[in-house]
């Protein structure tokens, strides 16, 4: 037994544990700063002004759960990627801190506690996915089942959208079950990626060989093209009926990315983008809410006119207030708890990026974007190292979800494109988003573990 101890010691996931040190220090420092910022006192800094152990319980709870996951991975999944989880833990902790900071300002004192509970539950689900999903290849065998699941998940939102079309009332893909608010699109994006990965992996060779010619465009047979067109129809339904521009863009972006990864043909991407632009013009002409979104992008904050004032009162208030928050943050920001991000409507979810801009500044936001880039890099690296073609497409598609969502919501907050209601991964408040994102992380870690075990078995 004594001879085995050094081996167990060496096999521990020390890299992952070492990468957790910086997030843990950031959590503690930021929590202390937030506590000091909320204290109404004129006295100088002293031991009496510092938070008590009880005040740091949320941070210690998050640190404890992350350490428990690290121990669990070291025992059962030692060969899984050791960089991805600390990056995700850092973003999740920042999301909990921001929710804790915003809660009192938006009259929801328990907002931070709720976000912490969702993160803990998400980490537990991530571990559960790794234990239960021993082999991810079985997902490919039920690809059409996942396609049906995609339509069924969206069906309640479609019905709600149809009922609200006559009245013109706004609708969002949110289902209410008592105190629970579920966003079906968070599960929809996962099921669609599974379908795309399974179908594109099965028909990769046929899609690469063009058999149908339409002008200068070469397409695969209609039999293989049909299911893909069906899933694109789903994004069109979301755009027209549910009126969720961001979700439609996410599904369309996933289709373009995964199709290109599967066959490497740029012509498919160009043709699909042309169709997307055409449908965009049609939607712009037919639907007033689409015109309102684009009008918001065109508002000139520096040269204010009467037209700008009218637009601000109707649809641009959220974006303009967000830009003011971004500008007031400057390079280094006001500091956590020292800004006024609550002037931005729905700042805890749709506009949380502007809250980080105001209180962490340009430097802090660049650091956050850098974390996202590292997560995307590790996800694509897991895809490259996967031994099975299906796992390669699945890991790449799931990683692309993070990339597209981060791009869409960040650009919307900065008025670079129409603002949409999809959450910023791990930072926005919301249980559905947190749980879905941790399911994705669990699948990615399982793929990385299986791939390294398979490579060592072949060597």
> What would the DSSP string read from start to end of 98-166?
HHHHHTTTTT-TTHHHHHHHHHHHHHHHHHHHHHH-S-TTHHHHTHHHHHHHHHHHHHHHHHHHHHHHT
User: How high is the mean pLDDT in each 10-residue block of the chain (459 residues)?
Assistant: 53 91 91 78 56 71 93 94 96 94 88 92 96 90 85 74 58 58 79 91 72 58 66 70 78 87 78 78 75 81 82 84 92 90 91 94 95 97 94 96 94 88 90 94 96 80
For residue 426, CA distances in Å to 27, 78, 187, 188, 433 come to: 15, 24, 15, 17, 7
Q: pTM for this structure?
A: 0.90
**Interatomic CA distance for residues 88 and 95, integer angstroms:** 11
181: β partners: 176
> What would the DSSP string read from start to end of 420-448?
--PPPTTTS--HHHHHHHHHHHHHHHHHH
**Interatomic CA distance for residues 425 and 427, integer angstroms:** 6
- Domain ranges in the chain are 12-132, 136-286
């Amino acid at each position: 037994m004594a001879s085995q101890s050094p081996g167990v010691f060496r096999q521990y996931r020390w890299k992952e544990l070492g990468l957790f040190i910086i997030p843990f220090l950031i959590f503690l420092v930021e929590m202390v700063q937030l506590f000091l910022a909320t204290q109404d006192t004129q006295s100088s800094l002293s031991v009496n002004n510092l938070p008590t152990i009880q005040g740091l319980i949320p941070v210690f709870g998050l640190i404890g759960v992350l350490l428990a996951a690290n121990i669990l991975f070291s025992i059962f999944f030692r060969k899984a990627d050791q960089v991805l989880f600390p990056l995700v833990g850092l973003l999740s902790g920042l999301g909990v801190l921001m929710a804790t900071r915003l809660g009192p300002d938006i009259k929801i004192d328990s907002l931070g506690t709720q976000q912490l509970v969702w993160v803990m539950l998400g980490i537990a689900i991530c571990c559960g996915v790794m234990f239960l999903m021993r082999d991810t290849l079985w997902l490919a065998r039920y690809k059409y089942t996942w396609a049906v699941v995609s339509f069924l998940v969206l069906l309640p939102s479609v019905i709600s959208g149809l009922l609200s079309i006559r009245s013109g009332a706004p609708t969002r893909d949110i289902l209410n079950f008592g105190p629970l608010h579920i966003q079906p699109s968070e599960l929809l994006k996962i099921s669609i990626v599974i379908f795309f990965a399974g179908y594109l992996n099965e028909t990769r060779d046929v899609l690469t060989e063009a058999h149908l010619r339409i002008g200068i465009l070469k397409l695969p047979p209609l039999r293989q093209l049909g299911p893909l067109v069906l899933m694109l129809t789903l994004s069109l339904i979301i755009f027209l009926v549910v009126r969720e521009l961001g979700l439609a863009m996410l599904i369309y972006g996933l289709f373009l990315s995964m199709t290109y990864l599967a066959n490497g043909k740029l012509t498919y991407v160009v043709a699909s983008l042309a169709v997307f632009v055409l449908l965009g013009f049609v939607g712009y002409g037919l639907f007033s809410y689409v015109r309102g979104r684009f009008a918001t992008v065109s508002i000139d904050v520096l040269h204010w006119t009467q037209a700008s004032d009218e637009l601000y009162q109707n649809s641009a208030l959220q974006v303009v207030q967000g830009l003011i928050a971004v500008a007031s943050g400057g390079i280094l920001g006001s500091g956590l708890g020292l800004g006024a991000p609550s002037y931005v409507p729905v700042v805890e979810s749709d506009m949380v990026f502007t809250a980080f801009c105001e209180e962490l500044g340009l430097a802090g936001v660049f650091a956050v974007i850098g974390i996202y880039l590292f997560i995307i890099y590790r996800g694509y690296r897991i895809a490259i190292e996967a031994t099975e073609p299906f796992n390669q497409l699945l890991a790449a598609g799931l990683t692309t979800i993070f990339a597209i969502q981060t791009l869409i919501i960040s650009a919307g907050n900065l008025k670079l494109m129409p603002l949409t209601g999809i959450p910023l991964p791990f930072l926005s408040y919301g249980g559905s988003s947190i749980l879905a994102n941790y399911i994705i992380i669990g699948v990615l870690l399982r793929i990385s573990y299986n791939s390294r075990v398979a490579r060592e078995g072949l060597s």
